[in-house]
Amino acid sequence: MLEDYKNALKSGQRAYRACVARGQSPYLAVLDDILVNVNIVAQEPLGLVEIPAESIVGTKTSGRHTAFAPNFMPLLEPDTEFAGKWSNLCDAHLDEGIHTPIIAYEFLNKFYVQEGNKRVSVLKYFDAVRIAGTVTRLVPERNDSLENRIYYEFLDFYKLSKVNDVHFSRLGGYAKLQTLVCKASGESWTDDDRLSFSSFYTMFRQQFLALGGGGLNLTAGDAMLVYLSVYRYADACESTPSQMKQNLEKLWDEVKVLTEPQAVALSLEPKQGPGEPLLAKLNIFTKPSELKVVFLHEHNAESSAWVRAHDKGIEALQQAFPDRVFITRKENIEPEVDAEQVLEDVAHDNADVVFTSSARMHTACLKVAAQHPKTRILNCSLNAPHPLVRTYYPRTYEVTYLLGILAGVLTKTDRVGYVAANPVYGIPAAVNAYAQGLKTVRPDAKVVLRWACLPDPAHPLDFSDRPDVEIFYARDNREPEGTHRDYGLVRRMPDGSLQPLGLPVWRWDTFYIEIIRSIFDGAWDSDAAGARAVNYWWGMRSGAEEIDYSKDLPAGTLQLLDLMEKMLHEDDLRIFPEDLYAQGHVLHSPEAVVYSPKELMEMDWLDECVEGALPHYDELDVKTHVLMAINGLNTLKGFVK
């Protein structure tokens, strides 16, 4: 049909001119040219594949590549033989459909046509979503480029799912998707799984593009991970297009923040200084006269030291604002069962601020925050890049550094222990800081690392199997199962009891008082410039943490620790040297002279003096998997094979 050809030609000419204006090639990409300096390590026949039409980006050879613009629309004049063949193919498609598969090569999850360029052109003209083709995959040699690393993650995912139309711009997306669709690591997809996902993703992508997602520097897959982090996959599959669009609109700031180079705004100290913020003085932001504040705990004060510590902070908050803050506490909330409904209830009850003291409640916080933007919701966790929910947590590495010094002073051997909680953001930095403190006084000493989330009878958390480890950073086993919290540096006595030497104290009162003060002062909104996520990550200087040392410590040791703490307060002490060596003697250096807070928070390696390893995702239990999905280290969320 010649009229269709003329319309397709106009589309091709527009694409041609746009590419020329951008200084790009105005013709189809040629795979043979792309592969000139690429080492292909494997060719895998994939058989007959439903190829996403948008992923067909070029041709295998240069033979006819100038006959098409990059969008596969034709460029040759209507009176050519080419135009006649294209029009005849168009007629055949309208009469009975195009059934002959194309032949194509796949490279880096993009497809290049060996045979059937005109078929692709006609089908794309009629907005075909998928095109059948017999495909051969060309696998490049591994390298350190982001594109290559993402592609190898895709290869692992494709073996399980046979899904090829989801793309990510960041590492870890495919493994996270596997988790979000309720598949275990290594579990294969069924035909029904693929059908359900295809239906969901097609609808999601349409709504993403309808809201302007095509103009953002991210993929529909990136946005989908944000969506499924808030809305359950099973519910998402049952949504109508209008419901999905409405839900996605509520999360649009969450999606857009992915395009920010610094998605998380770290607040490292409470804002101090005389007077009110300028924007508050100008009355740009609301300054409330009183606040309804709700605290939600996973456990209760009777059984959990963690809750008792937070309750002390709550009491201090009440004393700081006796006539302006009206506090409600709710305990024994199961994060995956009760939290969402409880949050809904308190939001409907017009709560102004909600603090949730369990990191496992973060997902519920996100979903409710999307529905109730006027309620300020905070979660006690670290490095969650979500503007809807702010997080707060102490800089634990400052405390563990000082305790590492104390361990080195007191140990009679060259081995000290460390029991870490879970492999989440901030934990490797805390372990490595402990190691730096130890090496300050014992350069050749080693840290024996164990994990509270990986109980092993052969390797108990009190190191009783290691006579050479008498001093260690331990967990308080007096707390109920599942509520263990950092207990601090201890010495194992001959009778097996633990003698406290230095106990970290997390001053939640500092967080609660200063955060609420910022709302009263009108500074809350100004903290989130650019709709970025805000993480309050405060340290010793702010008063958010301190150490309760044993009174039996030698006076000289206490004097040394006081001096080191004073240097931390005055920012005169560098905990991490410029050059650090990880296990295997791998050199790590900061981007600048000093490690940035972001580099410390996202540290995912262990100092070479540490004996032990970060656990693998598959070793962890379901409860820890939930925690990992929220603020676990990216390299451990099932991504490492």
Residues 6+ apart with CB under 8 A from 478: none
From CA 381, how far away is CA 274, in angstroms rounded?
30
The phi, psi pair for 127, rounded to 5°, reads 60, 40
Query: What integer pLDDT is reported at residue 638 of this predicted model?
Result: 47
Q: 351-410: per-residue pLDDT in tens?
A: 999 999 999 999 899 889 988 989 999 999 987 778 889 999 999 999 999 999 999 999
> Is the pLDDT assigned to residue 282 strictly greater than 50?
no
Q: Classify 115 as helix, strand or coil.
A: strand
Q: Give every CB contact of residue 399 below 8 A, 6+ residues apart in sequence.
A: 430, 504, 540, 545, 547
Residue pLDDT, tens place only, 112-141: 999 999 999 999 999 999 999 999 999 999
Q: So what's the pLDDT on residue 279?
A: 45
- pLDDT the model gives residue 453: 87
Percent of the chain with pLDDT over 90: 68
Using pLDDT thresholds of 50, 70 and 90, give the confidence band for residue 633: confident
Of the candidates 535, 483, 541, 473, the one whose C-alpha atom is nearest the C-alpha of residue 507 is: 541
pLDDT at 341: 96
Quickly state the pLDDT bin for 261 (edges 50, 70, 90). Answer: low
Does position 274 have pLDDT exceeding 70, yes or no?
A: no
Report the pLDDT value the prediction gives residue 475, as an integer from 0 to 100. 65
Give 54-111 pLDDT, tens digit per residue: 999 999 998 878 999 999 999 999 999 999 999 999 999 988 888 899 999 999 999 9
Coil, strand or helix: which one is 11? helix
| pLDDT value of residue 260 | 73
Identify the pLDDT of residue 636: 63
Residue 527 is given by DSSP the state G
pLDDT tier for residue 635 given thresholds of 50, 70 and 90: low
Q: What percent of the chain has pLDDT over 70?
A: 93
pLDDT of 131 reads: 95
Beta bridge partners of 618: none
Phi, psi at residue 27, to the nearest 5°?
-120, 175
Alpha carbon 16 to its chain centroid, in Å, reads: 39
Task: Note the pLDDT tens digit of each residue in 558-567.
Answer: 999 999 999 9
pLDDT of 497 > 90? The answer is: no
What are the phi and psi torsion angles at 318 (to 5°)? -60, -40
pLDDT at 288: 87
Residues 440-456 pLDDT 10s: 999 999 999 999 888 88
Residue 263 has pLDDT above 80, yes or no: no
The pLDDT value given to residue 545: 94
User: Does 477 have pLDDT greater than 50?
Assistant: no
Q: Cα separation of 62 and 33, whole Å?
A: 8
Taking Cα atoms as reference points, which of 80, 385, 101, 46 lies closest to residue 222?
385
Picking from 40-49, 271-280, 533-542, which range would have the lowest pLDDT averaged per residue? Answer: 271-280
Does residue 213 surpass a pLDDT of 80? yes
250-253: long-range pairs with CB below 8 Å, 24+: 250/370, 250/371, 250/373, 251/226, 251/227, 251/370, 251/388, 252/211, 253/387, 253/388, 253/531
What are the DSSP calls for 319-337, one per residue?
Answer: HHSTTTEEEEEE----TTT
Cα 433 from Cα 398, distance rounded (Å): 7
The model's confidence at residue 528, banded by pLDDT at 50, 70 and 90, is: low
DSSP for 436-473 reads HHHHHH-TT-EEEEEETTS--TTS-TT-TT-TT--EEE
**Paired strand residues for 640:** none
Name which residue leads in pLDDT, 188 or 281: 188
130-140, strands of its sheet edge to edge:
29-30, 56-59, 110-115, 102-107, 130-140, 40-52
Question: In the predicted model, is pLDDT for residue 623 greater than 70?
Answer: yes
